[in-house]
Structure formats: C-alpha cells, structure tokens
Amino acid sequence: MSESFERYRSNFLREVEEKVEEGEWVKMCMQCGVCAGSCPFGPHWEHSPQKIFMMIRAGKREEVLSSDSMWMCTSCYNCIVRCPRKLPITHIMHGLANYSHRLGMAPKGQPTRQFAKLFWDNLVKKGRVNELKLTMKHYFRNGFSAGIREAMAMKEIGQGMMKAGRINPMEFFGGHAVKDLSGFHAMLAKAREIEDRKKGFSD
Amino acid sequence: MEKDIATNQTILVIGGGIAGISAALEAAECGRQVILAERNALLGGRTLQLYRYFPKMCHPTCGLEINLRRIKANRNLRVLTMTEVVGVSGRRGSYRVKMKIHPRHVNEKCTACGDCASAVSSEIPNRLDYGLGKTRAAYLPHAMAYPMRYVIDPSIVGTEEGKRARQACRVGAVDLEMKEETIEIEAGSVIWATGWKPYDASKIQPYGYGRFPNVITSVEFERLADPGGPSGGRLLRPSDGKEAKNVAFIQCAGSRDENHLRHCSRICCMASLKQTRYVSEASDAKSTVYYIDIRAIDRFEDFYRKVQEDPSVSFVKSKVASISLDEASGDLFLNGVDTEGYHRYANRHDLVVLAIGMEPESLGMALPEDVVTDSSGFIEGGFGAGAASSPLDVNRSVQSATSAALFAISDIHRISATEEAS
Ligand SMILES: Cc1cc2nc3c(=O)[nH]c(=O)nc-3n(C[C@H](O)[C@H](O)[C@H](O)COP(=O)(O)OP(=O)(O)OC[C@H]3O[C@@H](n4cnc5c(N)ncnc54)[C@H](O)[C@@H]3O)c2cc1C
Ligand code: SF4
Ligand code: SF4
Ligand code: SF4
Ligand code: SF4
C-alpha cells in the first residue's frame, strides 16, 4: 500500500471527499435524520445514509466500505427531495458503493452487487444488454438445479416477454452488438483511465 | 460627493407593528414629521396575535399600552390605518409612495358603543385568529384596538345587514359610501417595518398541514391558548374539539431548509419552549419537542433549562421525516429516526404544532432601487426595522426600530445639509 494512501487512511472524510463521487457533500450533513426516516428500507438495513455520513466523519473506514447498505439503495430519491441541506444522497451512496467495489472491500455475495456485476459484464461485451443471457446467468448464479427451479417458476412471464418481443431466443447464440463495438470499448477504456486517475488507482 | 437633494423631510414608516410603532415614536419624539401607515384596522401587528410573550410571559397588550399613550401625546406623528403601501419609487431624499386606503365604513365619530355589531348577524372569518374563529361582520378588531373604532366588513355593504348597522348607529358613524382610494405622498426617508408572515405550511408536504386537521401551526396555537381566542383559551384540537393531551412540537418547520426557507427563523425555538408552558399550565397534558438543535437565542438559555426541568416536557433530537394520520382517532404518527442513538420511532400524538418559519412580509413588493435585501428577502442596510430586517423577537425588534429611526433622522439631515451647501 502506497504512502499517500496511508496518509488518507487517517482521514477518511478527506479520502471520501477526494475519491468518492459527490463525496465533498458529506461534510454538509447536519444529522437531522430526515433521510433515514424517509427511506423505504426503514429498519431493514443496518446503515441509513445519516448513519453512513456520520461514520465517515468518525473515520470508520472499514465499517463504511464493507457495509452492504450502499448496495441496497433503490434510487427512489425520497431522501434527496427531502434533505434540508440538499445533499445528493443517492449519488453519494452509489459513489461509495463503486469506491468500495474498486477497493475490493464490498461485501461478497451481496445480491444487488452480484446482479450489478452480471449486468455490467453483460453490457460491456456487445454494448447492449443481452436480456436472455442476463436472465439465464442470473437464474443459474446459485448452481444448475436452483436455476432450473427459478426458471420454471418464471416460465409464464418469460413466455409472455418472448411473445411481446421483449426477449429474443436467438440472442442465445451471441446476440447483436452496437455498430462500432471497438469504438465503444475504447470509450470505456478511456473512461476507466480517467476514473482511475481521479480515484488514485494505478493498476 | 453627495448628489441627492432632499425634497422632503417627512419620514414614512411602513407597518404599524411593534417595530413600526417604536420607530415612528422615536423619530417623532425627536421632532421630525412622521407618517405611520398600517394596512390593518388597528396598530400592533403580529404581537397582538400572541397569547403571551417570552421571556417574561407577559401579555402583548401591556407593552402596547405605553406606546399608545406616547402616540396620543405626540403631535408630530400621523397614524393612518387601513392604509396599505403598494409601491415606493424614487431614492433616498425623495421617495414617491403609493398607498391604498381600504374603506372602514366607519368614520371618526365612532364611540365604540357596539350597537352596530349587535344589529348584524352575518359572520366573517376572524383575521386576528388566522381564520380559526369567526366574528360579526361589524366588529372591533381587538379589545385594545387603536384606534378604538369599529369596522364594517365590505361583504355586508349594499345588503340589508349593512343598512341595519347604519340604522343602529346613533352618532352617524357608519358610512356605507366610503370607497377604496389610492393616494400618493412624498417622503424623504422610508423605514420598512413591514414585519413577517408565517411560511405557508401546506408547502411542507410530508407534514400534511391542510390535509390532517390536527396538524396546526405555532401561530394558530397562540390563538388556541389565548382566552380571547376561538376556543376561549382551551387547547382543543380542530378535528373533534377534544382537549389535547399529548402535543408534539416540530421545530424548523420550513426553516433551515433549502427546499423552503434557507434561514433559521431564530425565534421559533423560544416560541415552542414558551408554548410547552401553555400546555403544562392548561392541564395535565404532555409536550414533546422534536428538534435539530435548540437555539435559545443568547440569554434565553435559562428559559430552556427551566423547560428541560419540567417533567411534562420531553425532547427528541430529530427532524421528523413524515406524519401519517390515524383515520379513526384523528391522531397522528410522527415518523423519523433520532440522532442520539439512531432509534427509529413512530410516535403517536393527538395534536401537532409546526414551529413555522418567518418570512418577510415585503416579499413580492416592488422595492425602490436603493433598498437591498438578503437572500431570504429581509431588508438590509439600516432602514429595515423589526422582523422586516431579520427574524427578530419583540425586544430585538424594538432595538432595531430605534436604530432605523436614527438612520432615517440622520439621513434627512445629511441630505438636506448638502442641499443647503449647494
Ligand atoms: C409563533 C410565534 C411566537 C412568537 N412569540 C414571541 C414571544 O413570545 N416573544 C417575542 O419577543 N417574540 C415572539 N415572536 C416574534 C414576534 O411576533 C415578532 O418579534 C414581532 O411580531 C415583530 O414585530 P414587527 O413590528 O417587526 O412585525 P409585525 O408584527 O409583523 O408587524 C408588521 C406590521 O406591518 C404591517 N404591514 C405589512 N406590510 C404593509 C404594507 N405594505 N403597508 C402597510 N402596512 C403593512 C402589517 O399589517 C403589520 O401590522 C413570535 C413569533 C412567532 C411566529
Ligand atoms: S436529510 Fe440530509 S442533512 Fe439530514 S441527516 Fe440526511 S443527509 Fe444529513
Ligand atoms: S434513494 Fe436510496 S437511500 Fe435514498 S431513500 Fe431511496 S433507497 Fe433510501
Ligand atoms: S359605528 Fe356607531 S354603532 Fe358602531 S360602535 Fe361605532 S358608534 Fe357604535
Ligand atoms: S429558531 Fe429553532 S426552530 Fe426556529 S429555525 Fe432556528 S433552529 Fe429551527
């Protein structure tokens, strides 16, 4: 671990401000509790945004970055519209999720994170989401028999979607790509390069 | 170099609340000619709508009484009531002021005998009570009103009721022919004592004001507590007239909020602390104050400490996220998370009082170019007096009024001295 990284470790708030999307807003939170009280998750998660922001300021790096709360946020925006300080709460939560993922500290086996990864990998391949493959991968994430069971349970919906043209069975054999696939990949590589520079990832 | 030339040495004070009265008296007692314009039928402003005021818990009329005596004793001061200032143009030294005089339909012969009120039966919402109660359409705006003169509401002019009121008056004071008039005057200096208004609570959607009858504002609560108010001083909740036993106060309702008012309204913490006293004095009821932080401005920290010692009052450090209604009982559930321990709550209360924010009454009024306002619309730069300049309590309103009077006096002196020199 580099020396500069160690320096930030002692000041987690500064690290968040510099490296997490919208992280510079965290210090503006006045701990009023409106976001926590407005979130549809209610008691069903460990760390509300209010708590996460206080933990960041208290330097609880490990607990924040390994929390699964950021992954549970559904982007309903209830907190954003009500926050009296207008913090972009949803975006900070996603920024934290992304940052902890890049650091390899995100909780393993967290279902939303797993699906997010599936979605991303699927999307990157052809520049389009291959709905059929995404669905299959998702169903079979816990092994073959669990996948069959889940697929059977969803059979009617799947058939309906095929009829309506929302899922094309031919997509199973590769699927179609965006027009300039190599251009698309170059674009993503560039974006990644910029992000790495900003967040201090050199690998 | 001073280019302004004062064409007029009259000082106009806009607004006859405690700040306007104070500023007008200070200037008039220094020998200047002063006009005090108040759009309501009486002087006193919003303090008259308070039951009692902190820190000494005295009745607003006692402070007013001394001032009214000073007004009567002063010949430099002209008081115009039912006179609304609708536009001010020009600049320091020579302003042109447009005023609308609303018809009172009662002239100066009125002896306040009350016969006209007894003669009519139609009722109108009582403005003094923020419309919570009703009053006859011929009425005295307040038991201590200055001027002590009745008002005939325009709604009965041209009706049989109006005629009955005129016939009842033995001194010929009822004048149903009065029309609204617009006049223009000149003034050398203008003091803005236009005061404040409560923020529109229905804009705070998650709190349900306007949808849930038992969610009321702090200004309405003052009226409930007042023996002269719509419920005779009993804390009866609007939905069913039952006595409130478990009252919640929600602080910063509309204030300190980028979605509503950006500023701290400064007096509402003290106002709620004061109002918990109304609750504990009235019955065995409980109060709970939900707050972000309690801002008991300067030496009022003592007041706060005393309230903290009261076993009937509890404090929850949390801005309430939302309110939901229990249809059957009319009770309300306050939902949120408290900051001391992050406990989630859904607390039941039978009456909720929103400590509503204060915004400047001058919002939306066309101000002359040399009047500067802050980001919330409060008037800066010395010519604002009282709550027109900042959310102030009565004490500080009076102080700022004295300062504004000094500004106005020195201003017309300075400018007219330049005039003589040129
Ligand atoms: C819930 C609550 C409780 C409070 N309790 C206390 C307390 O206990 N103690 C305390 O010290 N303070 C208290 N306050 C604060 C107190 O109300 C203010 O300090 C006080 O009203 C300020 O007086 P003012 O003269 O500046 O303004 P106002 O009282 O608002 O008077 C302004 C006057 O100007 C008139 N006016 C406005 N525009 C025009 C126009 N265009 N033309 C002509 N006239 C116009 C209005 O009709 C009004 O009469 C409380 C406030 C609230 C909200
Ligand atoms: S609503 Fe905004 S200010 Fe309040 S606790 Fe949440 S983030 Fe902080
Ligand atoms: S956007 Fe996320 S954090 Fe905010 S209220 Fe919705 S689920 Fe909760
Ligand atoms: S208007 Fe006439 S009747 Fe009415 S209170 Fe005045 S004097 Fe009496
Ligand atoms: S005085 Fe208290 S209730 Fe009023 S805005 Fe300020 S902190 Fe909030």
Sequence ranges of the domains in chain A: 3-102, 111-199
Helix (H, G, I), strand (E, B) or coil at B97: strand
Ligand 4 mutation pick, B107, B150, B152, B156, max ligand atoms within 8 A of CB: B150
Contact across the interface for A37 and B337, Cβ inside 8 Å: yes
Dist. CA A73 → ligand 3 center (Å): 5
Q: Do domains B11-102+180-195+361-421 and B199-357 have the same CATH topology?
A: yes
The rounded average pLDDT for each run of 10 residues, N- to C-terminus, in chain A (203 residues) is 53 92 95 95 89 94 95 94 97 95 92 91 90 83 83 84 80 81 95 88 69
The CATH number of A3-102 is 1.10.1060.10
- Dist CA A81 CA A83 (whole Å): 6
pLDDT confidence of residue A43:
84
- Least CB–CB distance from A43: residue in B292, B339, B344: B344
- Take residue B113 and report the two structure tokens written for it: 């005998």
Residue B114 in contact with ligand 4 by CB distance below 6 A: yes
Mean pLDDT of B249-261: 97
What is the spatial distance between Cα A20 and Cα A51, in angstroms, rounded to a whole number? 17
Stretch B164-184: mean pLDDT:
97
Q: What residues line ligand 5, using a CB cutoff of 6 Å?
A: B 251-252, 255-256, 264-266, 268-269, 295, 355
In this structure, the residue with its CA closest to atom 7 of ligand 2 is: A29
What average pLDDT does this structure show over B50-75? 92
pTM for this model (two decimals): 0.92
Look at residue B1 in the predicted model and tell me its pLDDT. Answer: 41
Q: Measure the CA–CA gap between B150 and B170, rounded to whole angstroms.
A: 14
- Identity (one letter) of the amino acid at A10? S
The pLDDT value recorded for residue B7 is 65
Q: Provide the CATH topology of domain B199-357.
A: FAD/NAD(P)-binding domain (3.50.50)
pLDDT of residue A203: 55
The average pLDDT across B233-262 equals 97
The closest alpha carbon to A79, from B203, B321, B337, belongs to B321
- Residue of B294, B337, B338, B342 to mutate, interface with A, max A Cβ within 10 Å: B337
**CA dihedral sign, ordered B51, B195, B213, B318:** negative
| Ligand 3 atom nearest to A38, measured from its CA | 5
- Give me ligand 2 centre to Cα A7, in Å: 28
Indicate if ligand 4 lies below 6 Å from the C-beta of B325. no
- Pairwise CB contact (< 8 Å): A33 & B319: yes
**Protein residue whose Cα sits closest to atom 3 of ligand 3:** A73
CATH superfamily of the B11-102+180-195+361-421 domain: FAD/NAD(P)-binding domain (3.50.50.60)
B213 vs chain A: nearest CA distance in angstroms? 22
CB B202 within 8 A of CB B209: yes
Is some CB atom of chain A closer than 8 A to the CB atom of B340? Answer: no
- Residue B147: per-residue pLDDT: 95
Which chain B residue is nearest to residue A43, measuring alpha carbons? Answer: B344
Distance in Å, CA A13 to ligand 3 centroid: 21
Testing the interface with B: which of A25, A29, A34 to mutate, by most B Cβ within 10 A? A34
Asked if B324 is an interface residue toward chain A (Cβ–Cβ < 8 A), one would say no
Q: Which ligand is nearest to the CA of B58?
A: 1
Measured from the alpha carbon of residue B165, the closest ligand is 4
For residue B263, pLDDT over 90 is answered with: yes
Mutation to probe ligand 4, out of B110, B153, B161 (largest number of atoms < 8 A from CB): B110
Cα–Cα dist B334/B318, whole Å: 11
Structural domain boundaries of chain B?
Answer: 11-102+180-195+361-421, 115-168, 199-357
With a Cβ cut-off of 6 Å, ligand 1 is lined by B 14-20, 37-40, 45-47, 50, 53-54, 84-85, 193-196, 218-219, 222, 267, 271, 274, 358, 361, 386-388, 392-395, 397
Name beta bridge partners: B17.
B44
Q: CB–CB of A36 and B256 under 8 A?
A: no
- Cβ neighbours of A81 in B, within 8 Å: 259
Contact at CB, B319 and A32, closer than 8 angstroms:
yes
Q: Would you state the pLDDT for residue B2?
A: 46
Q: What is chain B's mean pLDDT, rounded?
A: 94
Tell me whether residues A84 and B256 touch, CB distance under 8 A: yes
Q: Is A83 in the pocket of ligand 3 (CB under 6 A)?
A: no
CB contact under 8 A, A32 and B206: no
Q: Would the CB atoms of B257 and A50 count as touching at under 8 Å?
A: no
Is A84 in contact with B336 (Cβ distance < 8 A)? no
Q: Give the distance (Å) from ligand 1 centre to CA of residue B389.
A: 11
User: Does position B421 have pLDDT exceeding 60, yes or no?
Assistant: no
Task: Give the number of the ligand closest to the Cα of residue B278.
Answer: 1
Q: CB under 8 Å, gap of 24 or more: what pairs does B67-71 form? A: B67/B18, B67/B21, B67/B22, B67/B25, B68/B43, B68/B146, B70/B25, B70/B29, B71/B21, B71/B25, B71/B43, B71/B146
| Whole-number percent of chain B with pLDDT over 70 | 96
Contacts of B224 (CB under 8 A, 6+ apart): B132, B216, B230, B231, B233, B234, B235, B236
> Between chains, do A82 and B206 touch, taking CB under 8 Å as contact?
yes
Reduced DSSP (H G I as helix, E B as strand, rest coil) percent helix, strand, coil of chain B, to 5: 30, 25, 45
Helix (H) or strand (E) holding B37: strand B34-37
Q: Which residue, among B83, B135, B133, has the nearest Cα to B114 in the 3D structure? A: B135
Ligand 2 near A49 CB (within 6 A): yes
Mutate to test the pocket of ligand 2, among A24, A35, A82, A90 (most ligand atoms within 8 A of CB): A35
Distance A4 CA to ligand 5 centre (A): 42
User: What mean pLDDT comes out for the span B296-309?
Assistant: 91
| Set of chain B residues whose Cβ sits within 8 Å of the Cβ of A51 | 342
